[in-house]
Structure 1
Amino acid sequence: MKWLPVLVSLSLTAGISGAEGMIQPAYSKTAPHATSSTIIPRRNSMNHVPKRSETKVEARWKLEDLFADQAAWDKEFSAAKSLIAKISAFQGTLADPAKLKACFEQEDELSLHVERLYVYANMKHHEDTAEPTYQALSDKSKKLSVETGEALSFITPEVLSLSDDALDKMIANPELATFRHTLEEMRRQKAHILSKNEEALLAQVGNMSSAPGTIFNLLNNADLKFPKVKDENGEEVELTQGRYIQFLESKNRDVRKEAFQAMYDTYGKLKNTIGATLNANVTKNIFYSRARKHDSVLAMSLYGDNIPETVYTNLVDTIHKHLPLMHRYMNLRKKLLGVDKLHMYDLFAPLVEEFDMNITYEDAKKTVKESLKPLGDDYLNVLQHGFDDGWIDVYENEGKRSGAYSWGAFGTHPYVLLNHKDNLNSMFTLTHEMGHALHSYYSDTTQNYRDAQYTIFLAEVASTLNEALLMDYLLDKSTNPKEKMYLLTYYADQFRTTVFRQTMFAEFEKIIHERSEQGESLTPQDLSKIYYDLNVQYYGDDMAVDEDIAMEWARIPHFYNSFYVYKYATGFSAATSFSKQILEEGAPAVERYLGFLKSGGSDFSINILKKAGVDMSSPEPIEQAMSVFESLIGQMEELTK
């Protein structure tokens, strides 16, 4: 349903740590500032995280563009409640095309109200997750979403109770042309729609079904406290989610090791609680899959996007085929670091001595814009609008939700949450999330409300395409061998984290759901063994797979939006294909790509990509990505001779 919100996503660079941000299942709005020089100066030591009140206004998003104040939110909340009370008048009338049209129109009006209310309340909550006022507002919006779902739950079953002939006539009716894709989707899903009473009951379960993700989110972002560790200067610094990767990027191996062990020791102390939370999420998924008569949770998860299961299994199989490339890269990394055995905490250590890329937020914006010139002036103008007009919340503050995402509500510009650090990783995160934001902008300004919503299967394509163009730009400009090696390593790590690592996550999800579906246990020890064994398989003999990594499953927020992460790998592959076409063909490929951005959800995902020139029903895009990865490794090996 249109009113159920979903955040999109984390940048591929966020996927490096595997715990950057929570994808909150709740609104099918997948997009998921001030840019003055007065933006927060970097506080220049990692031992101070400012309070929200200490951050510069110029570095914050302008949520007042969505609601001017709390009174405006309350007024719209009342309007939504009023519409909920009215929608029931359409029950029993939907065989009449005129009534059906009016019902859909009122559903859209109500959905848009709830979308706006939900997005605002949760983004305010994300500014400081410990702030009780917006915890309460977020809860209030979630309850409204569930209430709305219950109120609207009669529509689909009633439409599907029509005979096939009557439904075909509805689909062909020119008066219902705006809703044709909706009706076609209803017909496709007919086998999995329940009776009116059963649908109402499932809608009421919504509050309970969101509990595992909500509990993990609060535990991970608000309540979990990490110990202090020593930085490179020997100073005691509090470990946080936002600082973790910075510690792992340290040139000092002792710093990396201490932060790594402190992180997983902290999660290990809560393994039973988090294990129960993840187990509850798996159980919830199985409940829904069986209630809706799907063969499995995987089948149910792919069904919404109309993605064949073979797309998922072919991804895992194709990556397994290319695991020797990952092992080859690990061997190269071991040699470049000059260590006898590579450890998990060495994966982010700089490979090029005395080469640092300190990139301020202002510089990052300029470089991102330059790199996206191949997409044309219109794209660049919208991008600048986003930089200048309050789309972005830039820096970390106490209690702020970790990671990065793009989100928003139809009719208002998209928003982007960052936790910017002055490094290359954050510059890639910026271009990634602006890729999401501009996808939403083009979809929302081209399509009607219903058809503007693109699937999450498509969401990662636009973001990753931006990253590919940025990397091409940086490599093309580079003349310094050390810089080139740094960039090649960085790009190779994108493949490692976005294709291989996310596929490993996807395989982990598949294994734990299949085991639970077969009635097997999923104790914390089971989860840790499954996860540890996958790391051994994926990283190969040159990696000393530390026992601590067995607890990493406990800090992966993606697992609470199940069977999502494979889309990072497929999105990366599609983006690789798009970038190749754009750089080689120019204007015709750009036109096809902008057509993709403007398509929203007006057709099935596979078809939208095919029209734009990328066929994800074949393994070819994944094979193309692997050939690029192999080329990067080859270039790196040449530079090290």
Structure 2
Amino acid sequence: MSTKIVERHEVPVNDTWDLESIFKSDTEWEQSATTFKEQVSEIDGFRNKLSESAETLYLALSKQLELQEKLGQIFTYAHMRHDQDTGNSYYSALQDKAYGLVSLFEQRASYITPELLAMDPATLDRFVTEHKDLQLFSHLFDQLRKQREHILSEREEELLARAKEALNTSSQAYGALNNADLAFPSIKNEKGEEVQITHGRFVSLLQSEDRDVRKAAFEAVYATYEQYKNTFAATLSGQVKSDIFNAQSRNYASAREAALSETHIPVGVYDQLISTVEDHLPLLHRYVKLRKKCLGVDELHMYDLYTPIIKDVEFQVSYEEAKQKVIEAVKPLGEEYVERLTQGFEDRWVDIHENKGKRSGAYSSGAYGTKPFILMNWQDDVDNLFTLAHEFGHSMHSDYTRRTQPYLYGDYTIFVAEVASTLNESLLHHHMIQTLEEKEKKLYILNYFLEGFRGTVFRQTMFAEFEQMIHEKVEGGGALTAEELTQMYYELNVKYYGPDMVVDKEIGFEWARIPHFYYNFYVFQYATGYSAAAALSKQILEEGQPAVDRFIDFLKTGSSDYPIQMLKKAGVDMTTSEPVEQAMKLFETTLDQIEQLIND
């Protein structure tokens, strides 16, 4: 692990993402943003005219899509430039300008949905019959009908659009504090060297075999968050209030119902996930007990959760090695998939290295008409190997969708987003288990799977339960203080991890570290997506080409169908508990495997 954090300008160009493929320069972006600001008024010419004729309606919707596509590229460039160096004030300003353009566009186009809903359904159906090109919008019209009772008047829609930028302030403030302003102290690593803790290094430090290093990193990070607990409580409270304001404004019973309705997911799917996972918490408790035994400790602490339970295994993975392992792992998905993924490595989809001010974590991004970019903060370990496979799953999903669907349906909902990414991880796990010969490394990967399952299914479901609790508290008239947030979060950890875990008081402050609590009921989809991916990867490995064809069709569907239906066609029914039950069976089987290998 390097002890020096490089500046952005020190990163080799070939190791950065190719944002110049969107705009050749910042100057070109500025010109495009200025042009867009002038062109956005063109949408005004269709106000109060959508019901005049099929041709007018088609021209209005086409203009809306044209502007949205341009805006997507403008926004993508700005937010990714900002994320590569959040301390760069010029790119912070660029991102602010992009948010402003989004708000401006939404204000100008806010009349379209209310006018569509005000039209006589018979007239709309007649227009679609008369104008062949309007048939493209049939699925969109069907979605609008389902949302009819939650769409407001033109004036109210415009006011909500104007308020959006202000309502995003809590999330933006959190991002600035967490990524740019928050500084963690230095600790001594295994070699006695002073190493500054960063977001990117934190998990690597928790994976250290030296317990003193793990404990020091854990305590230093959460002591830092504790110092700012009241500020973080204020930003999270502001986000929750924003979610509730939007939900109540649109006549939803709760913020959760509003969030799930955007992708037409029944609330019962959320409740069923939590209840099914809670029914299987004894499996997590069994894993915790196994971890305690393998580590040989009298007490298992929260900072012991990430270190491998298989000792004396040197398992570093360079970025170049990771590329090859990912390519090999996805071969069951066919030649075209492998070729496109390989091309992604060559065409600079990936921004590889951590640098000073860079946004923490990893993600896949981009827009229609751009490359499906990936942000990494590379560390030479197995975790980053699987993260790379995960993010390429997202990017390949985007690539297939954008090459197949028109712009209108050239994206996919967050409910299905985690399926393609997690399926790649599942295939990588299978490949590693099949090809590794050393017992210790095989045990390491089995443990990595168990730990990944813990983090993706059990932990994300715990996050989902916490998110539901804090929204319900505010919806019930309560306030979110730092003390109350910490207590609620601490008690959930006690329930989930069971009697063999010492739940350190510091973990109570972890709520302040999790950016996904600002994503409006996003996290539950990691767990549902993982469960769906586990079932689909099993089908691909056992059935072969028919299952592959179903999965590739799923990647190509974009948002041209409802997510529940898309997954049914791919081979899983998320309206039942069966996928989660299957995932739990896989966790139990892997527990059996690792216990048997340990005892051999």
TM class by shorter chain equals over 0.9
How do residues 36-75 of structure 1 correspond to structure 2 at under 5 angstroms? 45-75=1-31
SS in 1 for 2:316: coil
SS in 2 for 1:479: coil
Deviation at 1:88, TM superposition (A): 0.6
Answer whether contact 2:411 2:558 (CA < 8 A) is retained.
Answer: yes
Aligned residue among 349, 367, 372 for 1:414: 372
| AA in 1 matched with 2:226 | G
SS in 2 for 1:205: helix
Alignment partner of 1:205 is 2:163? yes
Q: Which has the higher helix share?
A: 2
| AA in 2 matched with 1:595 | D
Aligned residue among 412, 433, 440 for 1:482: 440
Alignment partner of 1:158 is 2:115? yes
Aligned residue among 250, 257, 266 for 2:224: 266
Deviation at 1:171, TM superposition (A): 4.9
Answer whether contact 1:171 1:184 (CA < 8 A) is retained.
Answer: no
Range with greater deviation from structure 2 (165-174 or 467-476) = 165-174
Alignment deviations for residues 242-261 of structure 1 (CA, whole Å, 9 cap, x no partner): 11111111111111111100
CA distance 1:171–1:516, shift in 2 (3 Å): farther
Deviation at 1:234, TM superposition (A): 2.0
Answer whether contact 2:308 2:448 (CA < 8 A) is retained.
Answer: no
Deviation at 1:520, TM superposition (A): 1.6
- Give the distance between the partners of 1:157 and 1:349, measured in 2 at CA: 54
Aligned residue among 108, 113, 124 for 2:70: 113
How do residues 468-547 of structure 1 correspond to structure 2 at under 5 angstroms? 468-547=426-505
Alignment deviations for residues 283-315 of structure 1 (CA, whole Å, 9 cap, x no partner): 111111110000000100100000000000000
Runs of 5+ in structure 1 lacking a partner? 1-44
| AA in 2 matched with 1:79 | T
Deviation at 1:326, TM superposition (A): 0.2
- Give the distance between the partners of 2:477 and 2:398, measured in 1 at CA: 41
Deviation at 1:82, TM superposition (A): 2.3
Alignment partner of 1:548 is 2:548? no
Deviation at 1:65, TM superposition (A): 0.5
Residue of structure 1 in register with 2:61 after alignment? 104
Alignment deviations for residues 263-296 of structure 1 (CA, whole Å, 9 cap, x no partner): 0000000011110110011111111111000000
Alignment partner of 1:612 is 2:570? yes
Residue of structure 2 in register with 1:122 after alignment? 79
Aligned residue among 30, 41, 57 for 1:85: 41
Deviation at 1:178, TM superposition (A): 1.2
Alignment deviations for residues 531-580 of structure 1 (CA, whole Å, 9 cap, x no partner): 00000000000000000000000110000112100000000001001100
How do residues 342-491 of structure 1 correspond to structure 2 at under 5 angstroms? 342-491=300-449
Aligned residue among 328, 335, 344 for 2:293: 335
Deviation at 1:185, TM superposition (A): 1.2
| AA in 1 matched with 2:574 | M
Deviation at 1:170, TM superposition (A): 4.0
SS in 2 for 1:47: coil
Alignment deviations for residues 315-365 of structure 1 (CA, whole Å, 9 cap, x no partner): 000000000000000000000000111100000112112102111101100
- Give the distance between the partners of 2:486 and 2:126, measured in 1 at CA: 54
TM-score by length of 2: 0.98
- Give the distance between the partners of 1:196 and 1:471, measured in 2 at CA: 51
Q: What is the RMSD computed on CA atoms of the aligned residues?
A: 1.0
SS in 2 for 1:243: helix
Deviation at 1:108, TM superposition (A): 0.7
- Give the distance between the partners of 1:383 and 1:137, measured in 2 at CA: 31
- Give the distance between the partners of 1:315 and 1:167, measured in 2 at CA: 38
- Give the distance between the partners of 2:17 and 2:290, measured in 1 at CA: 42
Alignment partner of 1:639 is 2:597? yes
Runs of 5+ in structure 2 lacking a partner? none
Deviation at 1:236, TM superposition (A): 2.0
Q: Which has the higher contact order (CA 8 A, sep 6+)?
A: 1
Answer whether contact 1:171 1:183 (CA < 8 A) is retained.
Answer: no
- Give the distance between the partners of 2:352 and 2:368, measured in 1 at CA: 22
Paired positions, count: 597
Alignment deviations for residues 90-123 of structure 1 (CA, whole Å, 9 cap, x no partner): 0111012111100011001110111110000110
Deviation at 1:522, TM superposition (A): 1.4
Answer whether contact 2:273 2:577 (CA < 8 A) is retained.
Answer: yes
Alignment partner of 1:132 is 2:89? yes
* Identical pairs, percent: 47
- Give the distance between the partners of 1:86 and 1:477, measured in 2 at CA: 58
- Give the distance between the partners of 1:175 and 1:126, measured in 2 at CA: 39
Aligned residue among 580, 591, 598 for 2:538: 580
Residue of structure 1 in register with 2:142 after alignment? 184
SS in 2 for 1:237: strand
Alignment deviations for residues 393-431 of structure 1 (CA, whole Å, 9 cap, x no partner): 000011111111111111122111111111111111111
Alignment deviations for residues 45-103 of structure 1 (CA, whole Å, 9 cap, x no partner): 43201111111111011101111112321232133112211111101110121111000
